[in-house]
Structures are given as C-alpha cells and as structure tokens.
Structure 1
Amino acid sequence: MLTTPISARELSRGMLDVLIRAGLIAILAVVCFRIFYPFGSLLVWSLILAITLYPLHLRLRKRLGNKDGLTATLIVLVTLIILTIPMYLLGIALVDSIGNAMEMAKSGSIRIPPPAESVAGWPLVGGRVYAFWLQASTDLTGLIQRITPQLKGVGAALLEGATSVGAGLLIFIFALILSGIFMAYGEEARHSAVRITSRLFGPEAGPHVAELCAATIRAVAQGVVGIAFIQMLLIGVAFVVKGIPGAGLLALAVLLLGIMQLPATLITIPVIIWVFASEGFTVAAIVFAIYTFIAGLADNVLKPLLLGRGVDVPMPVVLIGALGGMVTGGVIGLFIGPVVLAVGYQLFWRWIDEQPQAEAPVAAPVDEPVEPKQP
C-alpha cells in the first residue's frame, strides 16, 4: 500500500497548529492559576480539614440516618463552638490584662522587687540581668525611657503578628465551613481523587496513591495536634499546681507552639527562671523545674510514636517531610511536605521493584562425544 508523502507546506502548517494549541493551553493555565491563587490557601486548608474529619463524619453518619449534609453541618457547628469559646475567653483575658497594666502604669503603682544577690552569679547573663532588674526596681521610668526605641519595634512586630493571627483565624473558619461541603460530597470527592491519581500515576498505582495522601494528612494532623494537646496538658497542670500567673494563657501558648512545630522550651525555660528568681533554689522549685523541662521535651519522644501511625511509609520520612514542609511552606507546608515526600518515596520504590529482571544466560549445548563404531 502506497502512502502519499507529506509536503513541507503541510508539515509547517501542522507544526503551527500544534504551537498555537500549546500557546492557548499555556495561556489558559496561567489565567486559571491567577484566578485560583487568591483562594489557594483557603481551599488547601479546606481539603486538609475535610480529609482529617471525614472518618468522624462516616461514624456519625450511620447514627444520623446516612444524611451526609446533616452530619457535616453538625461537625462544623460543634467544631466552631469548640474553637470560639476559648478564643473569646482568651480575648477577654488579654483585654483585661492590658487594661490593668495601663491603669497601673498611669497610677505609678507598679513596684518591682529588687533582685536577689544570687542573680548576679548566674553564668554568662547574670551581671546584665542583675543590672537591668536593679534599675527596674529603683528607676522604672528611666528604664522605660531608655528602652522606648526598642519597645516601638517590638510593638510593631506584635501588632503585625496579631494581625496575621487574626487573618489566619478567619481563613481557618471559612476553610472549616468549606470542609463541611466537601464532607457532604465525600464519596464523589473520593472517586474524583482516585480518577485524578489514576490518570497521573496509572490505573494500578492511582488508588494506592490517593489512599496514601489521605492517610498521611490524617496522620500528620492527628499526630501534630494530639502531641501539642498532650504537651499542653502536661505543662499546664504543672503551671496551675505551682500557681504561675497566667497559667491558662501560657498553656494555650504551649499548644500554639506545638502546632507550629516550635519547641515548648520557649515557654518553660523563662517560667523556670522566674520561679528560681522569685523562690530561690528550693526543693519544690527544683522539682518543678525538672518536671517542666522534661515535659517541654516530651514531643521528641511522642513524635516517633504517633506521627507515622497508619501510614505505609517509615516514620522518619513523614517526620522529615513535616519539618521540611514547615520550614519551606509554613503551617500548610507541615501537611503538604509529608504528602509529597511519602508519594515520592512510594513511587521511587515502586520504580525500583518494577525494573526488568535480567534473563538468565542460556547455556550452550555441549556436543556429546561420538563413540567409535565397532568393526
């Protein structure tokens, strides 16, 4: 059968059509990305919350007559109430504390006790801390005037941090509402995820990759939040028993630091120093310091136990992904990093296992010796 040769003109026209189509697709992708980008963080958080809460949705749905919409609405409302009450109480406590501090500053009734002589003997920082503390106890007004330029920078940083925290809280609330919509259509969303991963990684690996992504997100969410909550309880109980001022706020700060993957020692060490400065090296203070310091390091023991549970990937891979994602992408990277690293780990070993086996060499036939004929 003879084929008609393609002319140079037809070939150039075909290449031009391919280039035009590729350009239009690239323009469409860029426009879609720019439209999607302002809502990217919101949608990613919605997916993370929906995947994390979906097992609870499945358990409650059986008790509510298999009504997906009612179950998702109930979960969202209860979660909003659980989040709103502590935030409201925290806001009232902060406003009261700021108001009381301003009234004490205006009335001049702030009295700071002089430091003990033992403070000057602290290694490295004892002399500076003693001088600063002594001036604060004798000439607080002069000290405030001296450090006013530094206080302005600190105040601006605190205001910026409060603004970002407020914006993040609003994004989280809207993401929680959207996650309820995703949970209401959970089965359809699951089938869509399997179709997408099957198209990207093949029909055999696609379902496994989808389940791996969901399990990794749940493991990180439960591990990170669970570890932070346990650490908050361990440290908060010690603060309350010891009678530390603002024990509840400090415990909440420990919870937030744990979620952000920051060490709780940022809270515990200053509290330990304050206890030693106010009480001295008594037996109770030493026991409190040892317990609080160990509780502040408890996450180093709990992470290997809880972070990788239920994931078909070694725990170090999940832990490295969480820490690396947190450094590169913030709190969202805390969830995206382990997912990307876990999928890459699985695909790498699948590629290793599917390499073609070398065929065994075929032995050459050995010629049998010819027996001489008998006469």
Structure 2
Amino acid sequence: MNNELNALSDKTLEKLISHKMIDLFIRVGLIGFLVVRCYQIFKPFIGLILWSVILAVAMYPLHAMIARKMGGRDGRAATTLVLAILLSVLIPSTLLVFSFADSTTGLVKQVQNGTLQVPIPNESVAGWPVVGGKLYALWSAAHTDLGSVVAKYEPKIAIVTKQLLGYAASAGTSILMFLVALVLAGIWMAYGESGHAAAKAIAKRMAGDEKGETLVALSTATIRAVAQGVIGIACVQALLLGAGFILVGIPAAGIWALLVLLLGIMQIPAALVSLPSIIYVFYTNDSTPVAVMFAVYTMVAGSADNILKPLVLGRGVDAPMPVILLGALGGMATGGIIGLFLGSVLLALGYQLFMAWVYHENEEANSGEKAG
C-alpha cells in the first residue's frame, strides 16, 4: 500500500514539475520574443537617443542655472538653452559641413577625372630618411602624369574615395541628427529630475542601493567630463578655425576643420594644422593685412583649448586619452561623423565602469583577507 502511495506521489510530483517547466519555457520564450521585437523596433533610434541623452547630461548644469534664474521653470529654461545653441552653433556648423562635403566631393571628382594638379616636389624631400626617395619618386610621377599613378593605385584609391564620399554624405545627416538630438535633449532636461530618479531606480535594481548610486554618479561624471572637457572644446576649436579657413578661402576648409576636431579629441595641439594654414595664406594671399589678421586670429583660436579647459573642467579627464581616441576612431568607422562623438563617450564610460568594478572587487577581496 505504501509503495503504491509513494509511486502515486512521485508521478504527481513529476507532473507538477513538468507543468512548471512548460510554464517557465513559455514565459521565457514570450519574454525573449518581446525583447527581440522591441529591440528591432527601437534599433533605428538607438544612436539618436544615446546622443540626446549625452547632450542632456552634459548641458544639464547650465540648464539648472538658467532654470534658477527663471524661477524654477524647467521647460522655459530648456527651450531657451536649445534655441541659444541652435543660433550660435547651427550656422557655423552648417557652413563647415557643406564645405567639407563640397571639398571632399570635388577632390574625389578631380582624382577620378585626372584633372587634379599636383605641385612639383621640393628636392629636399628626397633627402628625408627611410621614405624620402620613394616619396619623391611618387610625387614627381604624380606631377608629371597623374593619370598613370591613379591607374597604378586604382584599387586603393577606389577604397579611399569611397570612404571619403561616405563621410561627405554622412556629414549632412549628422547635422540633422544633431538638431533632432538637441531638441530631444531639451525635452530630457525639462524632465531632468524625474529622469534622474528613474536612472537611479534602474541602477539600484541592477546593482543594489549603494552600488546603484555610485553607478549613476560615475556615469554622469564621465559623460560630462568627456563631452565638455574633450569633445565640446574640440568642437569649439574646430568651429573657430574652420570659420577662419572659410573666410580666407583655404581649399578643403571642412576637411582641415575635421582634422582639427580629431586632433582636439586626441589632445594634440591644433598648431599642426593652423601653422601650415598661416604659411599658405602668407604665400597665396595678395593682401598682407588680411594675412596678418588671419595669423593672429588662427593663433588665438588654435590656443583656445588652453584657455577653455581650466575654465570648464581643468586639465585632463579620468579616462585615458588612448581610450577616448580609440572610441572616436572606432565610432567614426562604424557610425560616420556622429559616431565620432558617440564612440568616444561610450567607450570612456565603459572603461570607467569596468575599472570601477575591478577596483571594487579588489577592495572587497582585500577587506576579506584583513578580516580573516
């Protein structure tokens, strides 16, 4: 009798476990299906949302200051800040983007048509170590018969020109994305307190109460450090120098401005671009006063980072410069111009969170050894 009861109870337990397993698989499957579908729907907007959140976090201290002067009206403060940025940044940014697109497209067409005029090289180039001889021979061949050089290196040139055209096409798209992201950032800033509370609630749910607070604080500090102290100042410097390049008529002004932006993110002095531009203007411009004014303006704009960094954040950020550089280059390779900014911020944030986790684990291990 007991054996029959035990067998019956075992069968009942097996049925119960099997029903629970089936219910679990169904729930997991439904949740997985919902997550995948939500990701597919949200995927086209991920970059835009991330960019708007980064802008909102970086600009929120300025928004809070404006809101205090307006009597705590967050909506009006956000609208005022967004309009001010649009008026002060949109016009020069648009000019630089169009200049970059025109310069890149024109350069590619000249290379493809064989109409690009290459100046004769200086004989001193041949004396450069390692690469001098080959570079002088290639340069001379390009000056004499550019078509043959283009035909010889056509596969490599095709790859480069395709990338340049892709960057030129993405420049206009990046401006539109920036405008939309700026408007969204204004909305996030208008509801900044509730958004911050939601971020803390999510972080606490993921990492616990104490670690959640630290996670949100570290993420906020890293985003502001990279966005304001590195990217923001690099953008200002690129806009200032790019505007000067356009006014004096330097060829491919947008490309040189983009190079200044990259150098600024790499924490390399903009003098690598500004000094050759000054020499070029002195040699090509007929008006000496214009050349002198351009030289003074370029020297001041080129050293703007030395003035702005101490005012904004002081020297340097917590994330190493190689991490920011890799993020910028990798982001640009995968996401175009807009990826240049997103990549540096996100990789720096990931690095900071990872290192915080490493140091926290080491501290817990050391405290456990001391207690033992």
Common fold by TM > 0.5: yes
Alpha-carbon distance in structure 2 between the residues aligned to 1:24 and 1:263: 51
Alpha-carbon distance in structure 2 between the residues aligned to 1:236 and 1:262: 18
The answer for the alignment partner of 1:10 in structure 2 is: 16
Alpha-carbon distance in structure 1 between the residues aligned to 2:166 and 2:371: 68
Distance 1:77 1:239, change over 3 A: closer
Q: Does 1:200 align with 2:210?
A: no
**CA drift at 1:344:** 2.9
The answer for the alignment partner of 1:61 in structure 2 is: 67
Structure 2 spans left out of the alignment, 5+ residues? 1-8, 285-294, 333-339
Q: Is the 8 A contact 2:94 2:175 kept in 1?
A: no
- Per-residue CA deviations over 1:254-285 (Å, capped at 9, x if unaligned) read 4321366496689649949x87xx89xxxxxx
For structure 1, which segment, 352-361 or 341-350, has the greater mean C-alpha deviation from structure 2 after superposition?
Answer: 352-361
Structure 1 spans left out of the alignment, 5+ residues? 280-287, 309-314, 362-375
Q: Does 1:217 align with 2:223?
A: yes
- Per-residue CA deviations over 1:8-52 (Å, capped at 9, x if unaligned) read 211211121112111111111111111111111111111111100
Distance 1:22 1:266, change over 3 A: farther
Q: Is the 8 A contact 1:236 1:247 kept in 2?
A: no
For structure 1, which segment, 43-52 or 223-232, has the greater mean C-alpha deviation from structure 2 after superposition?
Answer: 223-232
The match for 1:347 among 328, 333, 357 is 357
The percent identity for this pair of structures is: 33
Q: Is the 8 A contact 1:49 1:179 kept in 2?
A: yes
Q: Is the 8 A contact 2:100 2:255 kept in 1?
A: no
The answer for the alignment partner of 2:261 in structure 1 is: 256
Alpha-carbon distance in structure 2 between the residues aligned to 1:234 and 1:218: 22
**CA drift at 1:91:** 5.5
The answer for the alignment partner of 1:26 in structure 2 is: 32
- What amino acid is the match of 2:79? T
- What amino acid is the match of 1:61? A
For structure 1, which segment, 65-74 or 348-357, has the greater mean C-alpha deviation from structure 2 after superposition?
Answer: 348-357
Q: Is the 8 A contact 1:120 1:126 kept in 2?
A: yes
The match for 2:316 among 290, 307, 310 is 307
Distance 1:352 1:158, change over 3 A: closer
Q: Is the 8 A contact 1:136 1:143 kept in 2?
A: yes
- What amino acid is the match of 2:354? G
Alpha-carbon distance in structure 1 between the residues aligned to 2:159 and 2:264: 26
The match for 1:322 among 309, 321, 324 is 324
Q: Is the 8 A contact 1:318 1:342 kept in 2?
A: no
Q: Which of 1 and 2 has greater Rg? A: 1
Q: Is the 8 A contact 1:322 1:335 kept in 2?
A: yes
Higher helix share: 2
- Per-residue CA deviations over 1:306-331 (Å, capped at 9, x if unaligned) read 332xxxxxx3x554643454465553
- What amino acid is the match of 2:223? I
Alpha-carbon distance in structure 1 between the residues aligned to 2:65 and 2:45: 30
Q: Is the 8 A contact 1:61 1:68 kept in 2?
A: yes
**CA drift at 1:337:** 1.9
Alpha-carbon distance in structure 2 between the residues aligned to 1:130 and 1:245: 25
For structure 1, which segment, 65-74 or 44-53, has the greater mean C-alpha deviation from structure 2 after superposition?
Answer: 65-74
Alpha-carbon distance in structure 1 between the residues aligned to 2:22 and 2:119: 83
- What amino acid is the match of 1:193? A
Which residues of 2 match residues 358-373 of structure 1 at below 5 A? none
Q: Is the 8 A contact 1:325 1:333 kept in 2?
A: yes
- Per-residue CA deviations over 1:178-214 (Å, capped at 9, x if unaligned) read 1111111101100000100011111122122111111
For structure 1, which segment, 177-186 or 340-349, has the greater mean C-alpha deviation from structure 2 after superposition?
Answer: 340-349
The answer for the alignment partner of 1:336 in structure 2 is: 346
Q: Is the 8 A contact 2:260 2:270 kept in 1?
A: no
The answer for the alignment partner of 1:161 in structure 2 is: 167
Alpha-carbon distance in structure 2 between the residues aligned to 1:17 and 1:100: 63
**CA drift at 1:101:** 9.3
The answer for the alignment partner of 1:143 in structure 2 is: 146
For structure 1, which segment, 229-238 or 40-49, has the greater mean C-alpha deviation from structure 2 after superposition?
Answer: 229-238
Alpha-carbon distance in structure 1 between the residues aligned to 2:104 and 2:361: 60
Q: Is the 8 A contact 2:264 2:270 kept in 1?
A: no
Q: Is the 8 A contact 1:321 1:334 kept in 2?
A: yes
Q: Is the 8 A contact 2:142 2:149 kept in 1?
A: no
The match for 2:58 among 52, 61, 71 is 52
Q: TM-score, normalised by structure 1?
A: 0.68
Greater relative contact order structure (CA < 8 Å, 6+ sep): 2
